[in-house]
Amino acid sequence: MGECVHKAMGSLHGKEVSWDDFLPSLSYVIVECNRPHILIEVEYMMELLEPSWLGGE
């Protein structure tokens, strides 16, 4: 899904897409997909992440 959003935003035309533009677009696509179990899936994925990865830079 992320790759499709990235391509739609112009990466195919050699344009750089920043995270400041990409993340809101990806969030919009996820919301519009209307996946009924998205919160359960997010919680599951968060449990799989290494806690040290969740910190900022």
Mean pLDDT computed over 8-31? 75
Residue 56 lies in a domain: no
Domain of residue 14: give its range.
Answer: 2-50
* pLDDT interval class at 53 (50, 70, 90): confident
In a domain, 17, yes or no: yes
Structural domain includes residue 10: yes
Position 27 pLDDT exceeds 70? yes
Question: What CA–CA distance (Å, rounded) separates 56 from 35?
Answer: 28
Q: How far apart are CA 23 and CA 28, in angstroms?
A: 9
Residue 55 lies in a domain: no
Predicted pLDDT at 3: 73
Q: Is residue 12 part of a domain?
A: yes
Question: Binning pLDDT at 50, 70 and 90, where does residue 21 land?
Answer: confident
Give alpha helix (H) positions in the chain: 2-8, 19-33, 38-48
**C-alpha distance from residue 41 to each of 7, 25, 50 (Å):** 24, 19, 16
- Is the residue at 40 inside a domain? yes
**Residue 30 covered by a domain:** yes
Domain assignment of residue 36, yes or no: yes
How many structural domains are present in the chain? Answer: 1
- Per-residue pLDDT for 5 more than 80? no
